[in-house]
Amino acid sequence: MCLFFFEQVVSGINKGSNCGYHIVYSGTVAGAREAFFNDIPSISISYDWVEGKSNPHDFALAAGVCIPIISALLVEIKNQSYPGRCFLNIDVPNNVANHK
The string of pLDDT tens digits covering residues 28-44 is 999 999 999 998 899 99
Distances in Å between the Cα of 85 and the Cα atoms of 41, 52, 60, 88, 93 are 9, 39, 29, 11, 26
Please tell me the predicted confidence (pLDDT) of residue 3: 44
Convert 6-20 to b/e letters by CB count within 10 Å (16 or more is b): eeebbbbbbeebbee
State the Cα torsion 47-52-56-62 to the nearest 10°.
-30
pTM of the model: 0.84
